[in-house]
A and B are shown apart, each in its own frame.
Chain A
Amino acid sequence: MQDMKKLAQLLKEVEDQLVVCMRCGMCQSVCPVFAETGRESDVARGKLALLDGLLQEMFKDPTGVQDRLSRCLLCGSCAANCPSGVKVLDIFIKARAIITNYVGLSPLKKIIFRKMLSQPELFDRLLEWGSKFQGIFVKPVDDLLGTSCARFVSPLGDRHFSSLAPEPFHRMVPSLDTPAGASGLKVAFFTGCVIDKVFPRIGTAALRTLKHHGVGVFIPKEVGCCGIPALSSGDTDTFNKLILHNLKGFGSRNFDYLVTACATCTSTIKKLWPTMAEELTPGELDRVKALAEKTMDISQFLVEKVGVKPEAAGETGEKTLITYHDPCHLKKSLGIAVQPRTVIQANPSYRFKEMKEADKCCGCGGSFNLQYYDLSSAIGKHKRDNIVDSGCSVVATSCPACMLQISDMLSQAGDRVEVKHAIEIYAESLDKK
């Protein structure tokens, strides 16, 4: 029998935030998971009530609460819609860490996070081997989307996944240090795992764009995952290791902004590094905070710091119809929605059209997709329907994880819609300038 009193004591850390929930239930109207299941334990109010129950020592075993707490995309829709301003994500992330530290990490997650993810060089090597041998286990299904599926019965189930790139971004650009050009600005570029391993084309588009605008770029050799997969599972050890690893790479160099093309990395570095980092020296914490302050989404950087504007209307000729999906980590977490649209509309070859519920979560949620694929797909299918209903032949977004999910949904439905990153769309227009 576990000592629930001890766990309750640990959860005191979030008590002041928990009591803010007035149980009005308004989170039900925006929660993508609740919309599918109708279960109170799947919505923020229910999860907050469960944490309160743990705090009041109402349960004999915390694993039931832990399970239900994991059934959350961390999309932030509830927090953005909460009348009381409950900091739902802060509470959930802290609570996951507290409970996981208390009951322990599952053996599988221990291997993935502590033996692989927290050792970036080994992680890179493993996935490079994976890239070389993936042809044995997977077969291509959709050329346009670049998706594949398993050849044999596999833990990946029916997924149509975007294959690992033949050459990861870090092999194409092991490191970089170019001086500021005409813009007078220099940025550090944080690649992120999915861009590095699956969509290096996003990284190259970003570099091409920055070079075009005379922005100097620094990419350190020592760079790793931003840590969100580990933190979402409550593994603060791995999260802290990764922060320190990245700090070593970026920390002491001079640059104006830290730019990323991944909504999740941006949000994690900006909001979670300074608040969730533990056991850092005061000096390290100051550097983390300084990095967080400098961190920007690439579209935001281009619009706000470089001055990219939408192309003036009036050109003739055939235009490709394009729509945009708002990643939760960009819009709901950081309030960035206009800038990516501006960047897309800076390419005159496209005509922009809003889809219905553009800011509704695509259902990916990182590890949520791995753990609850059926639920993740059910949510993703609504996104696919809205994309198809828009009549567009391209859907852009600003998060490579959303790209994986949207590609899966479109590929499974056999839709002929391309999935691209906003920066790719913009970079295409530079070829013509």
Chain B
Amino acid sequence: MISQAVIKEFERILGKEKVFLDETDRHTYSYDAAVLEPVLPSVVLRPTSSEELGRLVRICNENSIPLTVRGAGTNLSGGTIPKKGGAVVLTNALNKILEINTEDLYAIVQPGVVTAKFAAAVEAKGLFYPPDPGSQAVSTLGGNVAENAGGLRGLKYGVTRDYVMGLEFFDVNGEIVKTGSRTVKCVTGYNLAALMVGSEGTLGVFDKIILKLIPMPTGRKAMMAIFDNVIKASETVAAIIAHRIVPATLEFMDNFTIRTVEDYSRVGLPTDAAALLLIEVDGHPAQVEEDAAKVESICREMGAMKIRVAQDAAERDKVWEARRAALSALAKLKPTVVLEDATVPRSKIPAMIQALEEISRRFNLTIGTFGHAGDGNLHPTILTDKRNKEEWHRVEAAIDAIFDKALGLGGTLSGEHGIGMAKSRYLEKETSKGTILFSRRIKAALDPKGILNPGKIIGE
């Protein structure tokens, strides 16, 4: 419960219209895109300046009010569900691109900038910000940094972490902490940015983010390799990389997903194929031609039935339209969609795909699998109806089995969705009791009252 005096203080700082107390308003900040039970915050705050943000953090700490920062609320692991109630602080009014530096190739942004808008602003200056989470049309850069979001281009370009040059954040006392710099090389002090990226709002509250930009590749070529055997397709992923070619994107789609996408969007996918690889190479046009030819020949050697190389931008767009439609197409089949994030070393993709087929049979569940095979990040997507309690128990058991298998293959719990509430119970399986205790000591040192997004990643 938050005292009336504190509420009055919030209203004095923000003005009444930016303090949401009504039950119905608060209800709409009790969930995110994860399939988890909602938790109602006591108050929702919408600061419009850094100064307001810092003061809110300080007041929450002084009054031991749990504080959960929320961008667009698109994350898939419950990172923005206010597990302990308290205050939800919105960043969507802190949405200015403060600088795009075309000489030194960096940008400085506020946390509430929408990812796609930022990417477009950068592109307009001939530059490139590669992280492209599926939710980029609405997700915010602050959320991307907090969750260390990935995307389709992770194989060649990495995830959000690889583009964070520096951060300014409020510590739990509302004091500004600066780390990193505008320079490419910076080895000053502790690498606090490395600690903060992916910390899911548990250690501090972002105020400004310095992001690295790179030149826009001048050439791109996409192709679709069609396989009559899932294992052949998945082995091809490792073979391409083994030939020292790193495509910008290397995506996998199983037969169930292919058929569902084709039913939904009629883009001309081969519904009889066991699996598809969707591959794009980019870079200098001459290099692109060479790499594309090599990829094509590797796919043939590995047993691809057919390869369709996009001849122009329109055909290339069609390839990606098919991939982008995957989740939407699957989502239309059943009311509840559980999009998982199992990630394994590339060489273990065939084993993981086989395991997913077995798990689907064992638990009698519909699972469509697609994802970023190039970086080992698969999205087994379970289609269910949460209202069917018996089936939901099987879903939970299947999720356990999926993560057990991924970890057994030397993989990880999350390639790009974070841990949040959804996967914190598995954390010890991947790391160790000691790792969790070590992490908790860091958390306790930086947030002694445990108010910053409590209950996330390392539990309580």
Contacts and interface: CB of A to CB of B under 8 A. Distances in A.
A19 interface: yes
B450 to A, nearest CB: 26
B220 interface: no
Given A22-B33, A24-B74, A49-B38, 15 more contacts: A25-B73, A25-B135, A26-B138, A28-B72, A29-B114, A29-B137, A38-B93, A40-B28, A49-B31, A53-B27, A64-B24, A65-B24, A84-B328, A84-B331, A84-B337
A59 interface: yes
Residue of A20, A24, A28, A41 with most partner-chain B CB within 10 A? A24
A40 B73 contact: yes
Interface string B136-149: 01100000000000
Interface string B11-47: 0000000001011110111111101001000000010
Interface in A21-70: 22-26, 28-29, 38-41, 45-46, 49-50, 53, 58-60, 64-65, 67-68
A85 interface: yes
A19 B336 contact: yes
A212 B332 CA distance: 47
Nearest to A84: B331
B243 interface: no
B138 A28 contact: yes
A38 B46 contact: yes
B24 A24 contact: no
User: Which of under 10, 10 to 19, 20 to 34, or 35 or more describes the interface residues of B?
Assistant: 35 or more
Contacts of A83: 327-328, 331
Interface in B115-147: 116, 135, 137-138
Contacts of A25: 32-33, 72-74, 135, 138
Contacts of B332: 20, 84-85
B88 to A, nearest CB: 10
B24 A23 contact: no
Contacts of A19: 335-336, 385-387
B196 interface: no
A20 B334 CA distance: 7
A23 B32 contact: yes
11 contacts: A20-B331, A24-B33, A25-B33, A26-B138, A38-B46, A38-B93, A45-B28, A49-B27, A65-B24, A83-B327, A83-B331
A177 to B, nearest CB: 44
A300 B386 CA distance: 43
Nearest to B327: A83
Interface residues of A, number: 29
B22 A64 contact: yes
Contacts of A23: 31-33
A29 to B, nearest CB: 4
Interface in B385-401: 385-387
A49 B337 CA distance: 16
Interface in A53-104: 53, 58-60, 64-65, 67-68, 83-85
A38 B137 contact: no
Given A24-B135, A38-B90, A49 B74 contact: no
A59 B387 contact: no
Nearest to B36: A23
Closest 8 CB pairs of A and B: A64-B24, A83-B328, A46-B28, A40-B28, A19-B335, A29-B137, A84-B331, A28-B138
A58 to B, nearest CB: 7
Given A38-B46, A49-B28, A68-B24, A26 B135 contact: yes
Contact of A22 (B25, B27, B72, B336): B336
Contacts of B138: 25-26, 28-29
Contacts of B23: 59-60, 64
B110 interface: no
Nearest to A58: B27
Contacts of A40: 25, 28-29, 73
B255 interface: no
Contacts of A41: 24-25, 28
Contacts of A39: 20, 25, 28
Contacts of B331: 20, 22, 83-85
B92 interface: yes
Interface string A3-20: 000000000000010011
A229 to B, nearest CB: 25
B378 to A, nearest CB: 19
